[in-house]
Amino acid sequence: VISYPSTPTRGRNDAPRESETDVIVIGSGFGGSVAALRFAQAGHSVRVLERGTWVTRDRNQVNLDAFWWPERGRFGPNDLRTRGQTILPWLGACVGGGSHVYAGTLKRDLDFGAFPAAIRDDDLDPYYTVAETMMGVRPYPDYAPYDRVRATQLMLRAGRVLHESYPDEVEEVGPVPLGISFAPASGTAKPSDPFINPHGARQHYSDPREQSLLGGDIGAKNSLDLNYLYLAERAGARIETLVEADRLERVDGRFRVYARRYLPPRTWAERLRNRALLRPVPTELVCFVARRVVVAAGSIGSTELLLRNRDLYKTLPNLGPMLGSRYSTNGNSLSLLLPGRQYVGSWIALLISVIAALVGFATVAVIAFVVHAIALYASKDRAYDPDLGTTNSDFIRLRGRDGKRQGGYIEGGRYPTPGRLVLAVVLSLLGWWRPERYRRLISLTVAVRRFVPPLELLARSWPIPLLQLGRDDAWGRFVLDERGRASIAFDLDANREYYDWIDDWGRKVARSVGMGWAHAPWSRWWRRVEVPHSIGGVPMGESIENGVVDHAGRVFGVDDLFVLDGSILTEPPGPNPALTILALAERAMTHILSAR
Ligand SMILES: Cc1cc2nc3c(=O)[nH]c(=O)nc-3n(C[C@H](O)[C@H](O)[C@H](O)COP(=O)(O)OP(=O)(O)OC[C@H]3O[C@@H](n4cnc5c(N)ncnc54)[C@H](O)[C@@H]3O)c2cc1C
């Protein structure tokens, strides 16, 4: 907790320097980017405070620098820190927020039952259309080289089989809508070629041989810095990076926003100390003043910030009692498709070979190794290489347990496979990592695998991640500790019926393509869910009794304070939430700007 001057006034020695604009937007993710652009286009001076920094392809790292750990000088885009006993949120911490770490899936929500009455089912349609156009949404391509990705082919096949087998329960299957730029089907442009997007920003086309999580999609994914924020800056908005907002207070009809600005190490000595994780980076206290503030720090960030200001600093005492409630994971869980069934014999022979070698039975070891290789190559199958292609390319949409549409989704996922990940980390430690080098790592590892059967066996057996999501049953509640850090109380057992249901669909996907299925080990043994889709905490409502903000993100009880991000969603949407956050923010901005 920062100790603030008791009554900060302009010109006091111990008070930070102030700078004033019409609007301050805290956070540059989906909600914040819409607010920044629309306010700037309406002629307001806008300052965006973002705790992270710009994500660029040449600065991308595959080491600790990929993570958000500011106390130790790590300012990477992936914030992965547990919040309480059961929840491990995965958040974006950079200019563009979640749009740099997300998979690019942009789906519409079809049901707004728990939203305030002002938002009807077709009310968001025009805003969805605006958001889709801004983000350049299109379905995953059905032409080469994109349709050659084996893990994509597998999941599309699973979708077709399940749709035929369960026509009443499987609502829709196929290529997923994505905010990613793919090379056109015809013409001379190829994957990884550069182009200028409709907003004027430089991008390049997605290349399925570059691993997304290792930076392969930077510039190919239509992240917010290439559309909303790009245009906002051109309309005059200013983005302050490495600035983490902490305290908001209202003085004389204006908001003061106090923040810590991280000062990354400048000297070599400082850099080395930080590298060794020995010393926190220095910060300075900064203060920004504006008539209006948009809090858009995401479900976790916004809820924590507002709770801290209501309960710890007591600067926003009027925030409603629902603050911190209705946290949802959007039914997120990870499971694994296990392709190795036909290789059980080969694995057993390899195991015997290793044990025999260890205890000195050389002949047995050699014979078992030969059996292992023959059993492996007898199968004509190839590795699925679940690191190739975009993080998500396909979906299977399920009717809910209550019969409602969009009750659940199963999507194929991608992640770096272990051999290539290790090589990428080594390259990064040597300072030689570039996302495009992944293509060479693929050629190298495929060549090595050809001559080393155990590596080929490992590659062919390597699990393919399944992303499971949907309208679940459990709600979490944020709890603030005395240092102002929020954790989430979330009862996994209250969600058991939902998990059993969605896991059952995971098993059906596996059976439909003749594979095995398993829980992600950490969710079963560590009893934690890894949550990319955190929502809620600052729910919309009809009044302060049942919500913190109204249908347009206006905070009940505090004029000129708005919240526009995933925290205001009042129920798990079912589909991935980013497009709904954009559409809600677009709608809210229309209301906010037309009211003044
Ligand atoms: C691996 C992964 C894959 C995903 N895939 C998809 C997908 O395919 N489709 C989809 O719809 N969703 C996906 N999501 C979820 C999606 O990214 C989030 O739902 C979305 O980013 C939430 O948007 P937001 O505006 O609420 O907040 P965010 O996008 O999280 O933006 C909040 C911003 O505020 C900043 N911030 C936080 N606190 C402060 C502070 N105190 N001061 C200043 N700045 C602050 C953060 O750094 C961040 O930039 C995925 C998420 C992950 C992690």
Q: Which amino acid is at 516?
A: G
Q: Residue 262 corresponds to which tokens in the numbers above?
A: 């991280």
Q: Whose CA is nearest to atom 1 of ligand 1?
A: 102
Cα distances (angstroms) measured from residue 471 to each of 44, 57, 200, 328: 38, 35, 38, 9
pTM: 0.95
Q: Tell me the Ramachandran region of residue 303: left when phi exceeds 0, alpha when psi lies from -120 to 50, beta otherwise.
A: alpha
pLDDT, position 12: 42
Give residue 94 CA to ligand 1 midpoint distance, Å: 9
Residue 230 pLDDT more than 50? yes
Angle of helix 438-451 relative to helix 453-461, nearest 10 degrees, comes to 120
Ligand 1 nearest atom to the CA of residue 259, by list position: 42
Ligand 1 nearest atom to the CA of residue 577, by list position: 11
Residue 11 pLDDT more than 50? no
Give residue 329 CA to ligand 1 midpoint distance, Å: 13
What is the tens place of the pLDDT at every residue in 75-114? Answer: 999 999 999 999 999 999 999 999 999 999 999 998 888 8
What is the tens place of the pLDDT at every residue in 175-191? Answer: 999 999 999 999 899 99
Give residue 221 CA to ligand 1 midpoint distance, Å: 15
Ligand 1 nearest atom to the CA of residue 49, by list position: 43
Beta strands in 351-413 (DSSP E): 394-398, 408-412
- 8 Å CB contact between 93 and 80: no
- Regarding the beta carbon of 533 and ligand 1, being less than 6 Å apart is answered yes
- Regarding the beta carbon of 177 and ligand 1, being less than 6 Å apart is answered no
**Which of 217, 313, 533, 579 is the pocket-test mutation for ligand 1 (most atoms within 8 Å of CB)?**
533
3-class SS at 436?
A: helix
- 8 Å CB contact between 353 and 453: no
In a 13 Å sphere around the CA of 104, the CA atoms on its Cβ side amount to 33
Q: Residue 167 corresponds to which tokens in the numbers above?
A: 């026509």
pLDDT, position 267: 72
DSSP annotation string for 396-419: EEE--TTS-TT-EEEEE-----HH
pLDDT, position 122: 83
**In the predicted model, what is the mean pLDDT of residues 507-517?**
97
- Regarding the beta carbon of 290 and ligand 1, being less than 6 Å apart is answered no
- Regarding the beta carbon of 91 and ligand 1, being less than 6 Å apart is answered yes
Residue 7 CB neighbour total at 10 angstroms = 9
Q: What angle do CA 528, 530, 531 make, to 5 degrees?
A: 125
Give residue 549 CA to ligand 1 midpoint distance, Å: 20
Give residue 463 CA to ligand 1 midpoint distance, Å: 27
Give residue 395 CA to ligand 1 midpoint distance, Å: 21
Q: What angle do CA 318, 323, 325 make, to 5 degrees?
A: 160
Pick the closest to residue 214 from 66, 7, 4, 430 (CA basis).
66
**Please, what's the b/e burial string for 272-294 (b: 16 or more CB within 10 A of its CB; e: otherwise)?**
ebbeeeeeebebebbbbbbebbb
Q: What rounded mean pLDDT belongs to the chain?
A: 94
- Regarding the beta carbon of 257 and ligand 1, being less than 6 Å apart is answered no
Ligand 1 nearest atom to the CA of residue 68, by list position: 47
Ligand 1 nearest atom to the CA of residue 95, by list position: 49
What is the tens place of the pLDDT at every residue in 277-292? Answer: 667 788 999 999 999 9
- 8 Å CB contact between 105 and 98: no
What is the tens place of the pLDDT at every residue in 12-58? Answer: 445 566 779 999 999 999 999 999 999 999 999 999 999 999 999 99
Determine which of 12-21, 440-449, 461-470 has the lowest per-residue pLDDT on average.
Answer: 12-21
**In the predicted model, what is the mean pLDDT of residues 316-331?**
97
- Regarding the beta carbon of 537 and ligand 1, being less than 6 Å apart is answered no
**C-alpha to C-alpha distance for 218 and 195, rounded to whole angstroms:** 14
- 8 Å CB contact between 352 and 361: no
Residue 1 CB neighbour total at 10 angstroms = 12
Ligand 1 nearest atom to the CA of residue 93, by list position: 47
